[in-house]
Amino acid sequence: MSRKSKTTEEMDRQSMIRLTWRRLKRRKTAMGGLVVFILLFAVALLADVIAPYGPNEMIPGEQLRAPSWRHPMGTDILGRDVLSRVIYGSRISIYVGFVSMLMAVLIGVPMGLVAGYYGKIIDQVIMRAVDIMLAFPIFLLAILIMVVLGASSTNVCVALAIVYIPRFARIVRGSVLSIRENEYMEAVEALGIRKWRVFFLHILPNCLAPVMVVASLSIGVAILAEASLSFLGMGTQPPTPSWGSDLRDAIGLMEINPWLAIFPGSAILVTVLSINLLGDGLRDAIDPRLK
Amino acid sequence: MNTEAGALLEIQDLEVVFHLEEGPLKAVDGAMLTVKTERVLGLVGESGCGKSVTAKSILRLVPQPPGEIVAGKAIFQGQDLLKIPRDRLRKEYRGKQISMIFQDPMTSLNPVFSVGDQLAEVFTTHRGMGKKEALEASAEILERVGIPSAHRRIRDYPHQFSGGMRQRVMIAMALACAPKFLIADEPTTALDVTIQAQILELMKELQREMRSAILLITHNLGVVAEMAHEVAVMYAGQIVESCPVEEFFDNPRHPYSIGLLRSFPGMVPKGERILSIPGSIPDMLNPPPGCRFHPRCQEAMPRCRRESPPDRMAGDNHHVRCWLHV
Amino acid sequence: MSRFVLKRAAFLIPTFLGITLVVFMAMQMIPGDPILALLQDNYTEELAQQLRVKLGLDRPVPVQYVMWLKRLVTGDWGTSILSKRPVLEEILHRLPVTLELLVLALTAALVIAVPVGVISAIRPNTFLDYSAMTLTILGISLPEFFLGALLLLVFSLNLQWLPATSFVPISENLWQNLRHMLLPALTLGLPRAALIARLVRNSMLEVTRQDYIDAARAKGLSEFLVINKHALKNALIPTVTVVGLQIGYLIGGAIIVESLFALPGIGSFGIDAILQRDYPMVQAFAIVASSGFLLSNVLVDLVYTVLDPRIRLE
Ligand SMILES: Nc1ncnc2c1ncn2[C@@H]1O[C@H](COP(=O)(O)OP(=O)(O)OP(=O)(O)O)[C@@H](O)[C@H]1O
Ligand code: SF4
Ligand SMILES: [Mg+2]
């Protein structure tokens, strides 16, 4: 009997994923976001092939050029090709976006599961810690962690992961609690199905939807935060190409060559926009009522 | 003697469509209804058959989008309410000549404004009263619907009232301008049985006092027997039978009406079995062809599957929509 | 005051203690000897030992925390390594600029967001709605420093309507002060406006589906009253919660905006302190900014109770 209920539940889950995908496909803006994001991913992977110059290659006598055929985005004060730097800069953004999100999910989701599933003291301890973390303004907490860790792109990942862990923990705990309250869970437990099976076959999959939505949107937040930290001089350090730190260098030169600011800035905008469109579409597709 | 009463409201060929992502949903499909002056018409039918949408259409409260009233008339004292300018509808009819009471008193009062404030709005809108005068009038009418220490309670918020009290407030609000016509959409469904009886009693009393006509939507045939003079039965967006109340209980014609009566506990004589109608209401996105009821009808004939039956008279004031009665 | 507010206020103290603990631990974890940073060139072994005893750094860490907390609460926040002036003084000196920036930004955000959200919601899926929602998703994807750079480029450098990176205190000349604050406030406020507008739209759509809105229409109220009185007040309740959370983002954004526009607030000051390793300033900055967020949430709770009688009268 349990075998049967398992297979039907699995079927339900598969059909839910298919249904979500079908709904997502109908949303043109979400699909646009997905396509753009895949393109950006490809650009980051193939930077060595696509970029006309190296990211730190200084071309003698070609400083601060306006966009031209030779340099579609112009050159910076050191004579580096801005297009090439923007292309290489995508690596940092996507790296930080994904790695920090994955770290946060890998730590935050189990934390939430444990808190929600075991309850009592464990729950109390985890949730008080979560509350305190959430009491900090998100960007301030990231800055504070960066002060401790020291500026580097990898540390940015760690800092943003720490910032996002409590958010995932809270969401997952919430859904675990609501699932546990379900009568159907009581039935499952009454059947004497082993705990870890309940955990992996019933509880975990049911937390997936909200985690996916927050995870997709958190990639965008992380990319914005990396750029902001680098803009403040606390993230990726020069000469590594990063859109945020390149923009920092461009501000003082804006009167002479505004393109230096516009291209890396637009790159951030396009990347985060594509993720937000995708994340929004995903949320609508998973739960159309939330529209 | 009652049959002489003139028509106050006539709904003709009403069609309401909801444009949904999955496709158009025809919630009301050619409904015909007549409410007579100073009389109570009971509108019955299963959940989702279009009763509320029909009622809301009269005051053009169907949410648009996704809803749209695509055809039909709602003639109230010679005026087609579906045609007149919105502003006129609002100023002369809504809340003044025609009022509405909703199913769930828990959700039909705005939780963030005091009861007095919400009641007073009727007086400031339709009677041109000042705020203070309107509050005074509100307290009076609250008193009239049986709310103790009304002068004090007008300052309270909806969540401080019980369900029955809230429905009294809704009734007060609806009757504030002594309307000629009251639409009551399942006014007691959400209430306890004892409270139900009190609210119905109050409505009956006020109906007599104010001489209003009522369109009373309900699931409860007991309420119909108690309150209504005429009955209309709705199925899948259509009125399938309408007749005076005695006729409905003594001599129902439409197989669906008969099924409803057999499935209602209070209506079945002792010792007989309660028989629920087999099957469920059709998917309104893809309604069955021909007679909408044929998949569930025990009398269904081949013709019923192909052609929609016309509305025919089956006696004095007795309309039926069924191939058995053509 | 309602139980709700009291209940929320009861969390204030433990949360504040939690914040101080996190900041304290962060400061402990910073690599390097703090005494070295404090003394810099004057470093001698003897002076260092004296200072260690004075600051209690020779005691166990929990004791250090308690002593540190005591100094914090009594206003003894130490001396800035850079300016050699008391940290508290420096902070108080710069706080008004940051507060003004935050208030202006939040006001701008709300003044823009609420009408846009309401109009989009009452005309859903029209051209107007689509345009507004496209703009708002652009807005939430825009980093503050890039938006600020664009505004600077257009309004200061090209059109020369507004001053660029300079500042006039509010006490000196209100008009000039506002001219200097306009771009920073917009830079900070517009992305928040975008997010809040989306939220107002969604909660208006939700609220206008409710029975009491039908009931208000059925009474014969004008559409203006139905929307702006009955629907809006309800829609603002969930909005207020999110605005409360957005204040956290505003505080983070203020750090960036102050740096970009060279405003002498505690945000830009904090970043300078971090980059120059002025740790007494850094910890004060962290505590002030997070306590500010905490207090703003109490204010938000108060607004909440004003809007929602169910909570006020609980
Ligand atoms: N706002 C709406 N959007 C989409 N569909 C709607 C909307 N309102 C009603 N409908 C659809 O119209 C049909 C008729 O609904 P209606 O509310 O009139 O039923 P009802 O007879 O009043 O049922 P109940 O007895 O449950 O109140 C239903 O199929 C319903 O799904
Ligand atoms: S028309 Fe046919 S199917 Fe429909 S109710 Fe009459 S007998 Fe039944
Ligand atoms: Mg209904």
Q: How confident is the model at residue A1 (pLDDT cuts 50, 70, 90)?
A: very low
- What separation in Å is there between the alpha carbon of B48 and the centre of ligand 3? 7
- What separation in Å is there between the alpha carbon of B28 and the centre of ligand 1? 9
Domain boundary pick from C73, C107, C124: C73
The pLDDT of residue A191 is 67
Share of residues in chain A with pLDDT > 70 (%): 87
Chain-chain contact of A224 with C143 (C-beta, under 8 angstroms): yes
- Range with the poorest average pLDDT among A195-204, B225-234, C78-87: A195-204
The pLDDT of residue A192 is 66
Which amino acid does the sequence have at A14? Answer: Q
Q: What is the mean pLDDT of residues A70-85?
A: 82
R_g (Cα) of chain B, nearest Å = 20
Of C23, C137, C152, which is closest to A273 when you measure between CB atoms? C137
Q: How confident is the model at residue C302 (pLDDT cuts 50, 70, 90)?
A: confident
Q: Phi/psi at C157 (nearest 5 deg)?
A: -75, -45
Instruction: Kindly state whether residue C82 falls inside one of the protein's structural domains.
Output: no
- Range with the poorest average pLDDT among A27-31, A48-52, C310-314: C310-314
Tokens representing residue C193 in the block: 């406006």
The pLDDT of residue A8 is 57
Q: What is the mean pLDDT of residues B184-211?
A: 86
Residues 6+ apart with CB under 8 A from A261: A247, A250, A251, A253, A254, C146, C149, C150, C153
- Range with the poorest average pLDDT among A87-91, A231-235, B112-116, B187-191: B187-191
Give, for B170, the enclosing helix (H) or strand (E). Answer: helix B163-175
Spatial distance between the Cα atoms of C263 and C180, rounded to a whole number of angstroms: 9
Query: Domain with C204 in it: what CATH number?
Result: 1.10.3720.10
- What separation in Å is there between the alpha carbon of B63 and the centre of ligand 1? 11
> Using a CB-CB distance cutoff of 8 angstroms, which residues of chain B are in contact with residue C313?
157, 159-160
- What separation in Å is there between the alpha carbon of C21 and the centre of ligand 1? 55
Q: How confident is the model at residue A39 (pLDDT cuts 50, 70, 90)?
A: very high
Q: What secondary structure, in 3-state letters, does B237-257 show?
A: CEEEEEEEHHHHHHCCCCHHH
How many residues are given for chain C?
314
The pLDDT of residue A206 is 74
pLDDT at A109 over 60: yes
Do C235 and C291 lie in a common domain? yes
Pairing of strands B23-36, B7-20: antiparallel
Do C143 and C182 lie in a common domain? yes
Do C113 and C240 lie in a common domain? yes
Instruction: Kindly state whether residue C193 falls inside one of the protein's structural domains.
Output: yes
- Of residues A16 and A68, more confidently modeled: A68
Task: Look at the block and give the residue holding tokens 């049959």.
Answer: B3
Return the beta strands (E) in chain C as ranges: none
**Which of A57-66, A210-219, A280-289, C1-10 is predicted most confidently?**
A210-219
Nearest Cα residue in chain C from B61: C214
Do C65 and C94 lie in a common domain? no
The pLDDT of residue B258 is 92
Q: What is the mean pLDDT of residues B109-123?
A: 93
Q: How confident is the model at residue C1 (pLDDT cuts 50, 70, 90)?
A: low
What structural domains and CATH numbers belong to chain A?
13-54+73-286 (1.10.3720.10)
Residues 6+ apart with CB under 8 A from B26: B15, B16, B17, B237, B284, B287
Which of B260, B281, B293, B319 maximizes ligand 2 atoms within 8 Å of its Cβ, making it the mutation to test the pocket? B293
pLDDT at B267 over 70: no
The pLDDT of residue A236 is 87
Tokens representing residue C139 in the block: 């807005």
Q: How confident is the model at residue B249 (pLDDT cuts 50, 70, 90)?
A: very high
pLDDT at A13 over 70: no
On whether the CB atoms of residues C18 and C293 are closer than 8 A, the answer is no
Do C97 and C237 lie in a common domain? yes
Q: What is the mean pLDDT of residues A46-71?
A: 81
Ligand 2 atom at minimum distance from B309 CA: 1
Instruction: Kindly state whether residue C245 falls inside one of the protein's structural domains.
Output: yes
pLDDT at A168 over 80: yes
pLDDT at C34 over 80: no
Expressed as residue numbers, the domain containing C222 is 87-313
Do C69 and C95 lie in a common domain? no
Spatial distance between the Cα atoms of A64 and A57, rounded to a whole number of angstroms: 14
pLDDT at A3 over 50: no
Tokens representing residue A229 in the block: 């930290």
- What separation in Å is there between the alpha carbon of B250 and the centre of ligand 2? 20
R_g (Cα) of chain C, nearest Å = 24
Share of residues in chain B with pLDDT > 70 (%): 96
- What separation in Å is there between the alpha carbon of C143 and the centre of ligand 2? 65
Domain boundary pick from C39, C73, C107: C73
pLDDT at B121 over 90: yes
Q: What is the mean pLDDT of chain B?
A: 88
CA C167 vs CA A59, C82, C93, C175: distances in Å:
38, 22, 14, 12
Nearest CA owner, ligand 1 atom 18: B50
- What separation in Å is there between the alpha carbon of B268 and the centre of ligand 2? 23
Do C51 and C97 lie in a common domain? no
Chain-chain contact of A280 with C137 (C-beta, under 8 angstroms): yes
Nearest Cα residue in chain C from A149: C30
Q: What is the mean pLDDT of chain A?
A: 84
- Between A120-134 and C12-29, two packed helices, what is the crossing angle to 10 degrees? 80
Share of residues in chain A with pLDDT > 90 (%): 40
Do C47 and C174 lie in a common domain? no
Instruction: Kindly state whether residue C144 falls inside one of the protein's structural domains.
Output: yes
Residues 6+ apart with CB under 8 A from C276: C81, C82
Nearest to C196 by CA among C109, C84, C282: C109
- Range with the poorest average pLDDT among A232-241, B155-164, C17-26, C152-161: C152-161
Residues 6+ apart with CB under 8 A from C295: none
- Range with the poorest average pLDDT among B233-237, C179-183, C215-219: C179-183
Give how far the C-alpha of residue A97 lies from the chain's centroid of Cα atoms, to the nearest Å: 4
Give, for B234, the enclosing helix (H) or strand (E). Answer: strand B230-235
Spatial distance between the Cα atoms of C250 and A160, rounded to a whole number of angstroms: 18
Tokens representing residue C296 in the block: 């703003």
For residue C218, the distance in angstroms to the closest alpha carbon of chain B comes to: 5
For residue C200, the distance in angstroms to the closest alpha carbon of chain B comes to: 17
Q: Phi/psi at B76 (nearest 5 deg)?
A: -115, 115
For residue C296, the distance in angstroms to the closest alpha carbon of chain A comes to: 11
Do C141 and C247 lie in a common domain? yes
Residues 6+ apart with CB under 8 A from A183: none
pLDDT at B38 over 70: yes
For residue C250, the distance in angstroms to the closest alpha carbon of chain A comes to: 8
The pLDDT of residue C204 is 94
- Of residues C46 and A161, more confidently modeled: A161
Q: What b-and-e string marks burial along A208-234, b requiring 16 or more CB atoms within 10 Å of the CB?
A: bbbbbbbbbbbbbbbbbbbbbbbbbbb
Q: How confident is the model at residue C2 (pLDDT cuts 50, 70, 90)?
A: low
Chain-chain contact of A140 with C150 (C-beta, under 8 angstroms): no
Q: Which ligand is nearest to the CA of B298?
A: 2
> Using a CB-CB distance cutoff of 8 angstroms, which residues of chain B are in contact with residue C225?
121
Q: What is the mean pLDDT of residues C258-283?
A: 90
Q: What secondary structure, in 3-state letters, does C63-122 show?
A: HHHHHHHHHHHCCCCCECCCCCCEHHHHHHHHHHHHHHHHHHHHHHHHHHHHHHHHHHHH
Instruction: Kindly state whether residue C151 falls inside one of the protein's structural domains.
Output: yes
For residue B222, the distance in angstroms to the closest alpha carbon of chain C comes to: 26
Of C216, C218, C313, which is closest to B110 when you measure between CB atoms? C216
CB atoms under 10 Å from CB of C174, counted, come to 11
Spatial distance between the Cα atoms of A28 and B15, rounded to a whole number of angstroms: 32
Domain boundary pick from C73, C108, C130: C73
Do C279 and C184 lie in a common domain? yes
Of C209, C220, C310, which is closest to B125 when you measure between CB atoms? C220
The pLDDT of residue B3 is 43
Spatial distance between the Cα atoms of A234 and B78, rounded to a whole number of angstroms: 76
- In which region does residue A179 sit, left (phi positive, over 0), alpha (psi from -120 to 50) or beta (all else)? alpha
pLDDT at B128 over 50: yes
Q: How confident is the model at residue C54 (pLDDT cuts 50, 70, 90)?
A: confident
Ligand 1 pocket at CB < 6 A: B 18, 20, 25, 27, 45, 47-53, 63, 66-67, 284
pLDDT at B1 over 50: no
Do C62 and C122 lie in a common domain? no
Ligand 2 pocket at CB < 6 A: B 254-255, 291, 293-294, 297, 299-301, 304, 309, 322-324
pLDDT tens for each residue of C100-132: 999 999 999 999 999 999 999 998 888 999 999
Chain-chain contact of C211 with B107 (C-beta, under 8 angstroms): yes
Q: Which ligand is nearest to the CA of B51?
A: 1
Do C171 and C235 lie in a common domain? yes
The pLDDT of residue C103 is 95
Nearest to C284 by CA among C26, C106, C13: C26
Q: What is the mean pLDDT of residues C294-301?
A: 88
> Using a CB-CB distance cutoff of 8 angstroms, which residues of chain A are in contact with residue C18?
128, 131-132, 135
Spatial distance between the Cα atoms of A169 and B195, rounded to a whole number of angstroms: 46
Spatial distance between the Cα atoms of B94 and B90, rounded to a whole number of angstroms: 5
The contact set of C with B (CB < 8 A) is: 124-125, 208-212, 214-222, 225, 229-230, 233-234, 237, 307-310, 313
Q: How confident is the model at residue A238 (pLDDT cuts 50, 70, 90)?
A: confident
CA B104 vs CA A271, B173, B185, C209, C211: distances in Å:
47, 15, 9, 14, 8
Look at chain C and report how many structural domains it folds into.
2
The pLDDT of residue A143 is 92
Task: Look at the block and give the residue holding tokens 């003639």.
Answer: B75
pLDDT at A93 over 50: yes
Chain-chain contact of C310 with B159 (C-beta, under 8 angstroms): yes
Instruction: Kindly state whether residue C79 falls inside one of the protein's structural domains.
Output: no
Instruction: Kindly state whether residue C80 falls inside one of the protein's structural domains.
Output: no
Spatial distance between the Cα atoms of B272 and B249, rounded to a whole number of angstroms: 16
Of C125, C218, C221, which is closest to B59 when you measure between CB atoms? C218
- Range with the poorest average pLDDT among A74-88, A95-109, B222-236, C278-292: A74-88
Task: Look at the block and give the residue holding tokens 């900014």.
Answer: C289
Spatial distance between the Cα atoms of A175 and A171, rounded to a whole number of angstroms: 6
Does the CB of B64 have a partner CB in chain C at under 8 Å? no
